């Protein structure tokens, strides 16, 4: 008889799963495990629900089946551009940790992240961390971007893990949800999770165990239970966020402010670049669509190859 579990960590060939009683069990795949999605580099990802069997006479398990995923976030594999790497699955929302100082996150990166979240119907929250390092012009920039992204419908938060600013509000957005934490290396993803777990009186031993290992560079995605209900998934910092599996004609659907207006375009197949009667371009000129967001659209579009027939 099989058992059910949830994957909390994946380190290549070994996984850590939590069973229904919350026991932590190291697990791996059998050679013959059926991989349904051969275009991904990892058959099992953090957040996956699986069936497993204990290995005879061992305290380790064999994963025997993968339950259907509610959703997942992936990216082009850095090792092989034809393959995708699944970052995590069964998410309620995705939180991008960005910074305006040390290091600086580009708005293009933020928009590529948001497009991917839209494509997978995963609500996204933007968190600007390291507030304590921001100069006056950074704050003005933040306020301007907050206005733009909030008008599109995204939640935008300002935090300083270092100075404990904005963490309560951040935490409120995490309650009862499985949240993927993403962003460049060094923006404070692990620090944020650590601060939020500590505030909630997680045993200090568990916290220090974990920070000793991955505080500066998290190397594998790992999920943590929030006290009460909810889960946070820490991920390794990513340098780039290349768009995987989105077609040129779909792209505008993943810019909510464009989706909302594209019915007004004269042509059904308008790409919103140089077609006449384009309501998107008009909205950019009229200041209803942010010019930087429109530039992001054009830049991403340029990177998606034309479909081969
Ligand atoms: N000044 C300042 N430093 C911060 C803040 N938050 C985190 N840091 C520092 O930023 C550095 C990187 O933090 P991490 O939490 O390891 O960053 P990460 O995003 O998990 O990085 P990777 O695991 O490499 O992806 C650490 O030295 C933190 O102390 C903040 O709000 N302000
Ligand atoms: Mg980290
Ligand atoms: Zn158009």
Radius of gyration, alpha carbons of the chain: 21
Domains and CATH numbers, the chain: 3-66 (2.40.50.140), 72-234 (3.40.50.300), 248-303 (1.10.40.50)
Query: Could you give the CA distance from residue 266 to residue 78 in angstroms, rounded to a whole number?
Result: 40
Spatial contact of 74 and 245, defined as CB atoms under 8 Å apart: yes
Q: Which is nearest to 89 in space by CA: 66, 108, 55?
A: 66
- 134, two tokens: 């921001």
Instruction: Give 92's contacts (C-beta < 8 A, 6+ positions apart).
Output: 122, 123, 177, 178, 179
Instruction: Please write the tens of the pLDDT for every residue from 46-87.
Output: 999 999 999 999 999 999 999 999 998 887 776 777 777 888
Instruction: Please write the tens of the pLDDT for every residue from 104-158.
Output: 999 999 999 999 899 989 999 999 999 999 999 999 999 999 999 999 999 999 9
For the beta carbon of residue 283, count every other beta carbon within 10 angstroms.
20
190 CA from centroid of ligand 1 (Å) = 7
The closest ligand to the CA of 238 turns out to be 1
Instruction: Please write the tens of the pLDDT for every residue from 215-230.
Output: 335 677 889 999 888 9
- Interstrand relation of 49-54 and 155-158 (parallel, antiparallel or unpaired): unpaired
181 CA from centroid of ligand 2 (Å) = 10
Query: Could you give the CA distance from residue 40 to residue 37 in angstroms, rounded to a whole number?
Result: 6
pLDDT recorded at residue 221: 85
Which residues neighbour ligand 3 (ion) by CB within 5 Å?
265, 270, 272, 278, 280
pLDDT recorded at residue 305: 87
Q: Per-residue pLDDT averaged across 237-248, rounded? A: 79
> Exposed, middle or buried, 237 (CB in 10 Å: 0-12/13-18/19+)?
middle
pLDDT recorded at residue 130: 96
């Amino acid at each position: 008889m099989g058992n059910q579990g949830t994957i909390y960590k994946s380190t290549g060939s070994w996984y850590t799963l939590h069973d229904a009683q919350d026991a932590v069990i190291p697990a791996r795949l059998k050679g013959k495990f059926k991989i349904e999605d051969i275009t991904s580099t990892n058959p099992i990802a953090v957040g996956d629900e699986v069936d497993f069997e204990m290995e005879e006479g061992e305290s380790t398990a064999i994963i025997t089946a993968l339950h259907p995923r509610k959703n997942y976030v992936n990216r082009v594999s850095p090792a092989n551009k034809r393959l995708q790497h699944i970052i995590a699955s069964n998410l309620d929302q995705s939180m991008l940790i960005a910074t305006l100082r040390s290091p600086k996150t580009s708005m293009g990166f933020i928009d590529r992240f948001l497009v991917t979240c839209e494509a997978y119907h995963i609500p996204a929250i933007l968190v600007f961390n390291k507030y304590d390092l921001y100069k006056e012009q950074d704050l003005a920039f933040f306020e301007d971007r907050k206005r733009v992204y909030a008008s599109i419908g995204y939640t935008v938060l300002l935090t300083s893990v270092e100075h404990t600013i904005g963490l309560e509000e951040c935490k409120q957005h995490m309650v009862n949800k499985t949240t993927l934490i993403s962003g460049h290396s060094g923006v404070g993803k692990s620090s944020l999770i650590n601060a939020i777990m500590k505030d909630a009186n997680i045993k200090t031993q568990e916290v220090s165990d974990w920070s000793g290992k991955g505080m500066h560079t998290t190397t594998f995605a790992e999920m943590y239970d929030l006290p009460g209900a909810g889960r946070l998934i820490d991920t390794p910092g990513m340098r780039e966020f290349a768009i995987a599996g989105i077609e040129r004609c779909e792209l505008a659907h993943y810019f909510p402010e464009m989706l909302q207006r594209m019915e007004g375009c004269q042509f059904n197949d308008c790409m919103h670049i140089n077609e006449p009667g384009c309501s998107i371009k008009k909205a950019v000129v009229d200041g209803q669509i942010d010019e930087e967001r429109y530039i992001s659209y054009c830049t991403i579009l340029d990177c998606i190859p034309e479909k081969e027939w």
